[in-house]
Structure 1
Amino acid sequence: MKKRRRIRKVRVIITVVFIIGIGLLLRNLFEQGNESQERTPTPITNKEIQLEAKSFTTEATISAIGDVLLHNSVYEGAKTDSGYDFRPMIEKVKPYLQEPDFLIANQESMPGGVEIGLSSYPSFNSPHEIIDALQEAGVDMVTNANNHSLDRGEKALNSAITYYEEVGMPYTGAFKSVEDQNTVRTFNVNGISLAVLSYTYGTNGIPVPEGKDYMVNLLDENRIIKDIEKVKMENDVDLIVLGLHWGQEYQALPTKDQQTLAQELTDAGADIIFGHHPHVLQPIETRKTVDGREAVIIYSLGNFISGQTGESKDLGGVINVKVNKAVEGTKTTITYPEIEFKPTFVAKDPTYRYMMYPLEEAEKLGLTNHSVVDVNSHMSTYMTTSLR
């Protein structure tokens, strides 16, 4: 009897403990649930997370130099035991090339390299090494649509492009494929985005190979306007920059056709035009477009380096366009608070060794009769403000 009572007593105790345990467990779960509910954050409404539109300004200097046209006298002067070295020719103007945030050069003679044979006027092919020298000096991009683009055919063009890609030099204007041509070259410089397009009036009568229209962008007004519209639609850029090979050789002022085309292209959306081909300097123009933007046109930047001499063909320069971007809420305004032109001069000694100088230095050394004052006066012919 005692044993049975003891068993019942144990069972009662176990049952009571079990009931108490269940009660404590349920209480803990209930308290945790309440605590969890108390910690649930209040949802944030769209109104509360909406940020005010930011306002800021930023600046960049977008620059260009003129024609890089390597006659045989130039590349022979750069010849070394192991190849070609153009760096000593550029050394004295290198500080000018180092200053801009983004610098474009017009590579007029195609650098197809020695493997296919170097050549001079009228059918140019230049050493690859000119690209090395330009890149080291500060050039960030080359335009290669010009009247000499097809001088040595597709082989030279593709060799040049292969080398551009090998050393990481962006290019535009002449291409290796349809895909290459359709790839718009865009850049972000200090928070200012730009697209660069390049076109030439022709190719010295050399026909573009059948079925390969992509090889060179030809200067057709309607085509350029369509390209500008496409860039604006597909790329969110602040600036559209054009490199145009146009005008009359050796003429100090632009033609009426150049001026008319410049107005139509800037009205269509181009913001800066860097002009090439005349081989002499032509003035800068600033204008208001039909939609109220500011636009800058440099009709010709002359020769950066070439074997041409006399009649101002030994003059070139660096055009520095300071671009200011002001963002206020959803509105972006682009202005050009400063345009600076730094003239350069190509000197050669009796042995045809070429050396480039800042024009001011060349004046002091007695190497030229050209003056900085006269050059800047000429370049500001159409401007209401003076050049720096």
Structure 2
Amino acid sequence: MRITFLGDITCDRNLLKAGYKNNKYNYKQVFSKVKNIFDKSELVIGNFETVCAGSKNNFQEQFMICNAPDEIVEAMKWAGITMVTTANNHCLDKGIKGLQRTIQCLIKYGIDYIGTNLDKNSRKHFSVKVVNGIKIAILSYTYSTNETSTGIILDENNDWYVHLLREQGKIYNESSKKIKIKQYLSKCMTAKRKRTLKRIFSRIKLRLGIPYMKPRNDQIMPGDTNNKYLDQVKKDIADAKEIADYTIVCPHFGGQFNTEPGEYSKFLMQFLRNEGVDAVIGNHPHVIQKYVCINEQILAYSIGSFNQSISSDYMVLESMPEYSILIHFYFEESTKILKKATFSILKIIENDDGMITVWPVNELYSQLNNSLDKKNLIMDIKNIYKRFTGNNTEMLREEYVIFSIGDKSVQSIF
């Protein structure tokens, strides 16, 4: 029995436009080359990093605000994705109603979810999927909901909508002067005006040849290591372990486009490891970061974005955002033991119209005719493999082994 995890599922403006033809949206092309991989797994789980708030709320016409057509979910279902995590920094991009409609859209297409909730009474702290008699618990949390961009701050009166890792509504900065400026601007401007101003500055910088975004390093802020939300995470994990045979946490954390985990990521990974989870599948940086395997406890900081539009202004191309990872877990049904864990490498190919096709690198290699293109792909794969595992490889494979029963090699960075 196999379950598979993929990275961030998105719908940037370039892909949004590319998917609209003959007065309708269609995104099956995005998943067409990985569908056969998903079909081999009983459970396929991704991070749904957008909302489906409906066409009346406008699709992604605003800078850095996500809203995708329902057809992206339809394509996910067609491809064989069975579940998504929904606790991420874009889950409130269209407000509480947008969050609720997203859940309703996922339910409509028969895709399970964890990380957000319709209301207080329907909150799920974790989801247990029973596959061939094996109980797999999935938990999802986020460090942020972009509260400074949306203007929505969750507190004790409404924080049940999203599974959080830290308190919201605080502005942290080394300079007290900068704090006062931000607080003043927050009072004077709506969230939409702040986004508009940010977009203007970003466009000016791009025209001057200054990149919109650079790799970010996630720091530990006051309250990050001891708060009521982490206490809830501890309780959720303990409750899940009482029920499940295998417990997996999918946190949304880390520095965007940073190929190395930051202080906060390392703290949170150690925190989750100490709570005894079996695996951690991280997302949010939009690029691949390393994994660690300690006594068959698999800890992946970031497996990258599954289908981000590489032509977007805010891409940091030197971090190789066009690559992502699939992680596969193989269980023995009779004993319910994890027998093997592997990973596959994927690459995003974007055509001139902005349409994306996500390829397994071994299949992409077989389709290339130019020897230079093949050489460059192999070099990229070696770099990605080195970044993810810390080791070198000379092989091009459909799946690379993380561990297999009988291979007791142990790595440690803690």
Q: Shorter-chain-normalised TM-score: which range?
A: 0.7 to 0.9
Q: For 1:326 and 1:349, how far apart are their aligned partners in 2?
A: 46
The structure that is strand-richer by fraction is: 1
Pairs within 5 Å for 1:209-358: 209=154, 211-219=157-165, 220-233=229-242, 236-288=243-295, 294-309=296-311, 310-311=317-318, 312-324=320-332, 327=335, 334-335=337-338, 337-358=339-360
TM-score, structure 1 as length reference: 0.75
Displacement of 1:163 after TM fit?
1.1
SS of residue matched to 2:92: coil
What is the alpha-carbon distance in structure 2 between the residues aligned to residue 380 and residue 95 of structure 1? 25
What is the Cα deviation at residue 283 of structure 1?
1.7
Cα 1:257/1:287, change in 2 over 3 Å? farther
Q: Quick check: 1:380–1:387 contact (8 Å CA) kept in 2? A: no
Give the letter aligned to residue 239 of structure 1: Y
Which SS does the other structure have where 1:320 is aligned? strand
Partner Cα separation in structure 1 for residue 44 and residue 106 of structure 2:
16
Give the aligned CA root-mean-square deviation in angstroms: 2.3
User: Is the 1:303–1:316 contact (alpha carbons within 8 Å) kept by the matching residues of 2?
Assistant: yes
Name the CA distance, whole Å, in 2 between partners of 1:345 and 1:375. 11
Cα pair distance change 1:187/1:82, threshold 3 Å: same
Matched, 1:114 2:55: yes
TM-score w.r.t. length of structure 2: 0.70
Amino acid at match of 2:103: I
Which has more radius of gyration?
1
State the Cα distance separating 1:183 from its structure 2 match.
Answer: 5.8
CA distance in 1, matches of 2:75, 2:163: 26
How far 1:223 sits from its partner (Å)?
A: 2.2
1:379 equivalent in alignment to 2:388: yes
1:127 positional shift: 0.8
Distance 1:318 1:257 in 2: 24
- Which residue in the other structure is 2:199 paired with? none
Structure 2 CA distance, aligned partners of 1:252 and 1:260? 17
Go from structure 1 to structure 2 and tell me whether the alpha carbon gap of 1:177 and 1:252 turns closer, same or farther (over 3 Å shift): same
1:318 offset after TM fit, Å? 1.2
Alpha-carbon separation, structure 2, partners of 1:165 and 1:363: 37
Aligned AA for 1:119?
Q
Deviation of the 1:247 alpha carbon: 0.9
Q: Which amino acid aligns with 1:88?
A: Q
Contact 1:63 1:104 in 2 (8 A): yes
**Of residues 172, 175, 181 in structure 1, which corresponds to 2:117?**
175
Structure 1 stretches of 5 or more lacking a match? 1-59, 289-293, 328-332
Residue 184 of structure 1, CA deviation:
3.5
Seen in structure 2, the aligned counterparts of structure 1 residues 318 and 298 have a Cα distance that, compared at 3 Å, is same
Q: Tell me the distance in 2 between the aligned counterparts of 1:62 and 1:73.
A: 31
Secondary structure of the residue that 1:224 maps to in structure 2? Answer: helix
Residues 133-162 of structure 1 show CA distances to partners (whole Å, capped at 9, x for unaligned) of 111111110101111111110121111111
Deviates more, 1:297-306 or 1:199-208: 199-208
Consecutive unaligned residues of structure 2, counting only runs of 5 or more, are 166-228, 312-316, 393-398, 402-414
- Deviation of residue 303 (structure 1)? 0.9
Instruction: Determine whether 1:148 maps to 2:94.
Output: no
Q: What is the CA-CA distance between 1:267 and the residue it aligns to?
A: 2.5
Seen in structure 2, the aligned counterparts of structure 1 residues 262 and 114 have a Cα distance that, compared at 3 Å, is same
Aligned match for 2:15, one of 54, 65, 74: 74
Identity, % of aligned positions? 26
Equivalent-residue separation in structure 1 for 2:326 and 2:83 (angstroms): 14
Task: Name the SS for the 1:303 alignment partner.
Answer: coil
Instruction: Report if aligned partners of 2:126, 2:140 keep a CA contact under 8 Å in 1.
Output: no
Aligned residues of 1:221 and 1:261 also touching (Cα < 8 A): no
Report the more deviating stretch, 93-102 or 196-205: 93-102
Length, aligned pairs only: 314
